Amino acid sequence: MKNTISERVADFLKNYPPFSALESGQLAALSYEVTIVHKESNSIVFSEKEAPHDCFYVVHKGAVALTKKGSTQILDICDEGDVFGLRPLLAHENYKLEAKAHEETILYAIPIKEFKPLALQNHLVGDFLIESFASNTRNPYSQKHRGKLYGISNEPGNGQETKLLDLQPVRYSSDLVTCTEGTQIKTIANTMGKQNVSCILVVKDGLPMGIITDKDLREKVATGLFPITGSAKSIMTTPAITYPKELTVTQAQMAMMKSNISHLVLTEDGTTDTPAVGILSNHDIMVAMGNNPAVLLRAIKRAKDSKRLRGIRQGIMSLLQGYLEENIPIGLVSKIISELNDATIKQIIDICIKKMETEPPAKFTWLTMGSQGRGEQLLNTDQDNAILYENVPEEESETTRNYFLKLGSIISTELNTIGFEYCPAEMMASNPLWCHSLDEWKEVTTHWMGNPGPEEVLLSSIFFDFNVTFGEKALADQLSLHIFDNVKKFPQFLAHLASGALQNPSPSGFFRDFLVEQDGAHKDFFDLKLRALMPMVDAARVLILSHSVKSINNTSERYEKLAELEPQNRELYLACSYASKALLKFRTKHGLLHNDSGRFIALDKLNKEEKIKLKRTFKTIKEIQSLIEIRFQVKNLLR
């Protein structure tokens, strides 16, 4: 007689990794041993520090939240098909997190005793479990277990190489230029010049004895300490400092700092007893660290023109790609990339001011708006910016405005040159509508807030995310105070802003299906920005304005602040913070993959896991929209 329950279990599991990698017979046998667990909302699956169960879990229906003891912050939410509770399988330790049903949930408990032999036989299964366990937020404490399964080291080639940018192996020159101890210094200098190298290796019987660098020639020969007719032995540094060829960037840096040298000799075994295979210079390390944020920041500050900055922008994109591949938390990634973007814009402004015939006639502030203002512009999208300058006497008003309009136009052109596209709606400082004195900006924002029609609400929602990138922060602070005063003066403005936040179409329909574009160039694509990201951004903006919180523009940080201000809604706000970061990461990864803005997603290109993780955010979107609809009585506006 057929066991229909186990068949249903197998039919479900076969759609999700790692079970999809099992043979049908293996899956059928495993499914027969699976236990079905029902959990009410908020009930505990396992607690932090609890002894490990004899199984791990797969979510069949519902969701499970993973949290750290003493904190209500949700580190991850496991949805349909997600695997969790792997610690007893991989690390033989007590649980490091608490797992609690986020809603009414049905789980499949997978017995470790039956599953472990299958995973050991199937590398695809093992690799998936390691990735689930040792990366992302599902378990942030287990990096030490990467490359190991059940305490057994993986065979060579089965594990995944670490690609962290500051731990990667450096490229070195294998074209060795050598001489003997008796080679004349003049000959050495000529050889180094012809070969265009900064050092020469001194060898004896094929083994490295010492090294001579261009610094030795400058300090020992050019100063007259040694004659140019002398031998290599008289000026070489010996013994040669040797290291194995698998040296990493960090190890190379430490070695050079320790010995106060600029070149390392690489040998087969890292000693002078084997032949040299290459030379590693300080320049090689700097090249390898080209995607290091500190190096990029220095390069930005040294850049003298937009052409150089455009090249550096490519390095920033490579850095972003590397961070995403290594599952670096998107919050940290956003901060680093935003700092580099701000530094780039600041350098462009400095360059452009020098192109003007005169210095600025008044103090001013360059404001970035939209995603860059929120610190969320990770990809090369269009620019949204404005100029705010101090009030000047009436007789100087026209010339001052003309100066800043010209400056704004030059800056926008240079930003376009380095990769920031022009704003299609011309919301840029080159447009007279986005270049004003402080008093003029106060009048503009007062008009928007006092007359909140659809256009005014749209303009407010873009402008109110401004951030100071260059210039006088005090001017922006004065404008912020004026805006918050107007929030109190025009209470209906928040209701209209909340209404605007609800205008974006829902991300899903019945049964959580994706709602896609019905026509146009992106027919059948999912608009990630309009249907998912913007509802989260808009809701955070109106809520943070209602609390008169200044200087927090980032969406996830706004929700984290709201969680502090409204403890009764803490769980929802933290879920919103998580969802906003997840959506931003999703858009960024797909934008880099397809070399576009990442806004429109082809659903047929997503795997099952990606679709589930994306859908995971939809419930949160609906909940936060319901909150602002009720709080700001949006329905009353329609009466």
Boundaries of domain holding 353: 347-489
State the average pLDDT over residues 81-107.
Answer: 82
pLDDT of residue 127: 60
Residues 431 and 362 in one domain: yes
Tally of structural domains, the chain: 4
Residue 270, Ramachandran bin (φ over 0: left; ψ between -120 and 50: alpha; else beta): left
Per the DSSP assignment, residues forming a β-bridge with 98 are 67
pLDDT of residue 315: 82
pLDDT at position 172 over 80: no
Confidence of residue 541 (pLDDT cuts 50, 70, 90): very high
Report the percentage of the chain scoring pLDDT > 70. 86
Mean pLDDT (the chain) is 83
CATH of the domain at 247: 3.10.580.10
Residues 361 and 378 in one domain: yes
Residues 479 and 504 in one domain: no
Residues 507 and 601 in one domain: yes
pLDDT of residue 133: 52
State the average pLDDT over residues 21-34.
Answer: 90
pLDDT of residue 401: 96
Confidence of residue 157 (pLDDT cuts 50, 70, 90): very low
- Choose between 92 and 349: higher pLDDT: 349
Q: Which of 489, 512, 546 is the last residue of a domain?
A: 489
Residues 258 and 284 in one domain: yes
Per 3-state DSSP, what percentage of the chain is helix, strand, and coil (rounded to 5)? 50, 15, 35
- Choose between 329 and 92: higher pLDDT: 329
Is 238 inside a domain boundary?
Answer: yes
pLDDT of residue 602: 85
Residues 448 and 485 in one domain: yes
The model carries a pTM of: 0.59
Is 71 inside a domain boundary?
Answer: yes
pLDDT at position 511 over 50: no
Is 94 inside a domain boundary?
Answer: yes
Per the DSSP assignment, residues forming a β-bridge with 278 are 266
d(CA 62, CA 351): 55
pLDDT per residue over 198-216, tens digit each? 899 999 998 999 999 988 9
Residues 504 and 474 in one domain: no
Residues 352 and 481 in one domain: yes
d(CA 356, CA 339): 26
Residues 359 and 252 in one domain: no
Is 104 inside a domain boundary?
Answer: yes
pLDDT at position 630 over 60: yes
Is 329 inside a domain boundary?
Answer: no
If you average pLDDT over each of 82-91, 260-269, 437-446, 491-500, which comes out highest? 437-446
Q: Which of 269, 289, 309 is the last residue of a domain?
A: 289
State the average pLDDT over residues 125-145.
Answer: 45
pLDDT per residue over 560-610, tens digit each? 999 999 999 999 999 999 999 989 988 998 888 888 888 898 887 887 777
Confidence of residue 91 (pLDDT cuts 50, 70, 90): low
State the average pLDDT over residues 429-458.
Answer: 94
Is 295 inside a domain boundary?
Answer: no
Confidence of residue 258 (pLDDT cuts 50, 70, 90): low
CATH of the domain at 477: 3.30.460.10
pLDDT of residue 608: 75
Question: Which of the 8 DSSP states describes residue 173?
Answer: B
Residues 181 and 130 in one domain: no
pLDDT per residue over 137-154, tens digit each? 333 223 333 333 333 333
Question: What is the phi/psi pair of residue 178, to 5°?
Answer: -125, 165
Residues 353 and 483 in one domain: yes
Per the DSSP assignment, residues forming a β-bridge with 152 are 149
Is 335 inside a domain boundary?
Answer: no
Q: Which of 489, 515, 531 is the last residue of a domain?
A: 489
Residues 268 and 175 in one domain: yes
358: amino acid identity, one letter: T
pLDDT of residue 273: 87
d(CA 327, CA 501): 31
pLDDT per residue over 342-354, tens digit each? 999 999 999 999 9
State the average pLDDT over residues 90-105.
Answer: 82
Is 388 inside a domain boundary?
Answer: yes
